[in-house]
Amino acid sequence: MTVPDGPAAAGRSPAIVISGAALRFGDTCHFAGLDLTLDGGRTTCLLGPSGIGKTSLLKLIAGLPAAGLSGTVSAGDGAPLAGRIAMMAQRDHLLPWARLIDNTMLGARLRGEAPDESRARAILTRLGLGPAIDLRPEALSGGMRQRAALARTLYEDRPVVLMDEPFSALDAVTRHRLQEVTARALAGRTVLLVTHDPAEALRLGDRVLVLNSRPGALREIEVPGGAIPRDQARGDFAAALGRLFESLGDGGAQG
């Protein structure tokens, strides 16, 4: 059985236009008047110091309520975004009582759709979780749990995927492998990946943006060449990584 990588037609993945985004807590303004367009079908990586509001920006796109957050978000194709987004967070948020297969199909159950068990099995198998399909999350390692969260995200099969530091709790080797799997699985979708890891951003991002500290402003970093996931051994990768670190250091009052 094969599972198509990416949505059936990559062209369906809409661009996302964010305008006038602002995050204020009382007198503190994290950012205001922020405009950003996520290219359709491409991966945009967002970096920046902790607590600057990257997660809030992600929530704004997802249509989730958050204190102090304002701004408008629309899809490039003019259709509503609700129901076209899948989300993956740093914590796996797997349901402890449910087998992996049921965790994967949670979205279908919550929407009252008939769960497609063969598709869920195929996704889990492709992510190397075949033998664990009937296990509960507590029986899994951190890497496996995060892969299960990825499986749940892929099962949603949405053209837009928002990821909030999905690999930051993993060890370096597991993270590296999972980045590759993710990049392949999400190719063709509109992806926003919030991360703390500059190398991760450069490996996975068609575009890399840095949100710098108060009042926040976005800066685009030139990315190295090569197909995603990019090869870190290339010479221009190291150069780009250097520039990125420098940019993160600028204005990063929080260090």
Partner 1 sequence: MKSMGRLAAALGAGIAILLLWQGAVTLFAPPPFILPGPAAVARRLWLDRALLLDHGLITLAEIGLGLVIGTLIGIGAAIAISASRPLRRILLPLVIASQAVPVFAIAPLLVLWLGYGMASKIAMAAIVIFFPVTIALADGIARLEPGLVDLARVMTGGGSPRGRRWRLLRHLYGPAALPALGSGLRIAAAVAPIGAVIGEWVGSAGGLGWLMLQANARAKIDLMFAALALLAVIALLLYRLVDGALRRATPWANSTDILKESEPT
- Interface residues with partner 1 (CB under 8 A) are 59, 62-64, 80, 82-87, 89, 91, 93, 95-98, 106-107, 109-112, 136, 138, 156
Place of tokens 């710098």: 212
CB of 90 to partner 1, least distance (A): 9
Which pair of tokens denotes residue 226?
């090569």
Q: Which is nearer to partner 1, 62 or 228 (CB)?
A: 62
Nearest to 221 by CA among 93, 48, 35: 48
CB of 23 to partner 1, least distance (A): 17
Which pair of tokens denotes residue 164?
């909030």
Q: Where are the alpha helices (DSSP H) in the chain?
A: 54-62, 100-104, 106-111, 117-126, 142-156, 172-186, 198-204, 235-249
State how far the Cα of 234 lies from the Cα of 223, in Å rounded to an integer: 12
Q: Which is nearer to partner 1, 137 or 224 (CB)?
A: 137
Q: Are 190 and 42 in contact (CB under 8 A)?
A: yes
Which pair of tokens denotes residue 228?
């995603």
State how far the Cα of 81 lies from the Cα of 250, in Å rounded to an integer: 34
CB of 94 to partner 1, least distance (A): 10
Q: Which is nearer to partner 1, 164 or 200 (CB)?
A: 164
CB of 87 to partner 1, least distance (A): 5
Nearest to 49 by CA among 162, 191, 193, 198: 198
Q: In the chain, helix, strand, coil percent, each to 5? A: 35, 25, 40
Q: Which is nearer to partner 1, 156 or 200 (CB)?
A: 156
CB of 3 to partner 1, least distance (A): 20
CB of 166 to partner 1, least distance (A): 12
Q: Which is nearer to partner 1, 104 or 212 (CB)?
A: 104
Full strand arrangement of the beta sheet holding 16-25: 28-38, 16-25, 69-75
AA letter at 95: L
CB of 168 to partner 1, least distance (A): 14
Q: Which is nearer to partner 1, 109 or 234 (CB)?
A: 109
State how far the Cα of 102 lies from the Cα of 100, in Å rounded to an integer: 5
Q: Which is nearer to partner 1, 43 or 104 (CB)?
A: 104
